Amino acid sequence: MVRTMRAEIARLTGHESSVKREQCAVGEVSVSGYWATHRMSLNQLNEMLLSLAYETISPAFFSSFFGKASTAGVGRSQFEYGLRYFEQIALLKYGNVKFGFKTLAKKNAKEIKQEL
Protein backbone atom coordinates (compact mmCIF):
# COMPACT_ATOMS: atom_id res chain seq x y z
CA MET A 1 0.00 0.00 0.00
CA VAL A 2 1.35 3.39 -1.01
CA ARG A 3 1.36 6.11 1.65
CA THR A 4 -0.11 9.36 0.39
CA MET A 5 0.37 12.97 1.36
CA ARG A 6 -3.33 12.94 2.27
CA ALA A 7 -2.53 10.40 5.00
CA GLU A 8 0.40 12.51 6.24
CA ILE A 9 -1.83 15.58 6.47
CA ALA A 10 -4.44 13.52 8.34
CA ARG A 11 -1.74 12.54 10.85
CA LEU A 12 -0.95 16.23 11.38
CA THR A 13 -4.57 17.26 11.87
CA GLY A 14 -5.65 14.18 13.80
CA HIS A 15 -8.52 13.22 11.51
CA GLU A 16 -9.41 12.24 7.96
CA SER A 17 -10.49 14.90 5.49
CA SER A 18 -14.14 15.10 4.49
CA VAL A 19 -13.07 15.88 0.90
CA LYS A 20 -13.59 12.89 -1.40
CA ARG A 21 -10.43 11.41 -2.86
CA GLU A 22 -11.49 12.06 -6.44
CA GLN A 23 -12.10 15.75 -5.66
CA CYS A 24 -8.57 16.54 -4.54
CA ALA A 25 -5.27 15.90 -6.31
CA VAL A 26 -3.38 15.86 -3.00
CA GLY A 27 -5.24 12.69 -2.10
CA GLU A 28 -3.35 10.58 -4.60
CA VAL A 29 0.16 12.06 -4.34
CA SER A 30 2.50 9.42 -2.93
CA VAL A 31 4.82 10.39 -0.09
CA SER A 32 7.88 9.08 -1.91
CA GLY A 33 6.85 10.79 -5.15
CA TYR A 34 6.30 14.12 -3.46
CA TRP A 35 9.58 14.11 -1.53
CA ALA A 36 11.57 12.98 -4.58
CA THR A 37 11.06 16.40 -6.18
CA HIS A 38 9.79 18.79 -3.50
CA ARG A 39 10.50 20.48 -0.22
CA MET A 40 7.69 21.60 2.11
CA SER A 41 7.26 25.29 2.84
CA LEU A 42 4.64 26.90 5.03
CA ASN A 43 2.72 28.01 1.94
CA GLN A 44 2.78 24.55 0.36
CA LEU A 45 1.59 22.90 3.56
CA ASN A 46 -1.21 25.45 3.92
CA GLU A 47 -2.26 24.84 0.31
CA MET A 48 -2.46 21.11 1.00
CA LEU A 49 -4.43 21.74 4.19
CA LEU A 50 -6.88 24.00 2.35
CA SER A 51 -7.33 21.58 -0.54
CA LEU A 52 -8.37 18.95 2.00
CA ALA A 53 -10.70 21.38 3.85
CA TYR A 54 -8.55 21.72 6.98
CA GLU A 55 -7.62 24.91 8.80
CA THR A 56 -4.30 26.47 7.86
CA ILE A 57 -1.40 26.87 10.26
CA SER A 58 0.49 29.94 11.42
CA PRO A 59 4.14 30.61 10.59
CA ALA A 60 4.87 30.11 14.30
CA PHE A 61 3.31 26.64 14.26
CA PHE A 62 5.38 25.66 11.23
CA SER A 63 8.56 27.02 12.81
CA SER A 64 7.86 25.38 16.16
CA PHE A 65 7.45 21.89 14.75
CA PHE A 66 9.11 21.77 11.32
CA GLY A 67 11.82 24.40 11.40
CA LYS A 68 12.30 27.89 10.10
CA ALA A 69 9.37 28.98 7.92
CA SER A 70 11.45 29.98 4.92
CA THR A 71 10.36 29.93 1.31
CA ALA A 72 12.92 27.16 0.66
CA GLY A 73 10.98 24.83 2.95
CA VAL A 74 12.04 21.67 4.73
CA GLY A 75 13.04 18.25 3.44
CA ARG A 76 11.40 14.91 4.06
CA SER A 77 13.37 13.90 7.15
CA GLN A 78 12.83 17.29 8.82
CA PHE A 79 9.11 17.20 8.02
CA GLU A 80 8.69 13.64 9.29
CA TYR A 81 10.60 14.46 12.46
CA GLY A 82 8.39 17.52 13.02
CA LEU A 83 5.25 15.50 12.40
CA ARG A 84 6.28 12.86 14.97
CA TYR A 85 7.33 15.59 17.42
CA PHE A 86 3.97 17.35 17.06
CA GLU A 87 2.05 14.09 17.50
CA GLN A 88 3.96 13.36 20.71
CA ILE A 89 3.40 16.86 22.09
CA ALA A 90 -0.31 16.79 21.21
CA LEU A 91 -0.82 13.38 22.78
CA LEU A 92 1.04 14.28 25.95
CA LYS A 93 -0.51 17.73 26.41
CA TYR A 94 -4.05 17.23 25.06
CA GLY A 95 -4.66 13.50 24.86
CA ASN A 96 -5.22 13.54 21.11
CA VAL A 97 -3.72 15.03 17.97
CA LYS A 98 -6.93 16.60 16.65
CA PHE A 99 -7.41 18.80 19.71
CA GLY A 100 -3.71 19.66 19.74
CA PHE A 101 -3.87 20.79 16.12
CA LYS A 102 -7.00 22.86 16.67
CA THR A 103 -5.50 24.46 19.76
CA LEU A 104 -2.05 25.30 18.37
CA ALA A 105 -2.50 25.77 14.61
CA LYS A 106 -3.28 29.50 14.65
CA LYS A 107 -1.21 30.60 17.64
CA ASN A 108 1.80 32.90 17.41
CA ALA A 109 5.22 31.96 18.82
CA LYS A 110 4.60 33.50 22.24
CA GLU A 111 1.23 31.79 22.60
CA ILE A 112 2.65 28.40 21.59
CA LYS A 113 5.48 28.77 24.09
CA GLN A 114 3.04 29.70 26.87
CA GLU A 115 0.68 26.86 25.96
CA LEU A 116 3.41 24.24 26.00
Residue 30: phi, psi to the nearest 5? Answer: -75, 150
CB environment 27-39: b (16+ within 10 A), e (fewer): bebebeebbeeeb
pLDDT 10s digits, 8-41: 999 999 999 988 877 777 777 889 988 999 899 9
The Cα–Cα gap between 112 and 72 comes to 23
pLDDT 10s digits, 37-84: 989 999 999 999 999 999 999 999 999 999 876 677 899 999 999 999
Looking at residue 70, what is its pLDDT?
64
Looking at residue 84, what is its pLDDT?
97
Looking at residue 69, what is its pLDDT?
63
Q: State pTM to two decimals.
A: 0.90
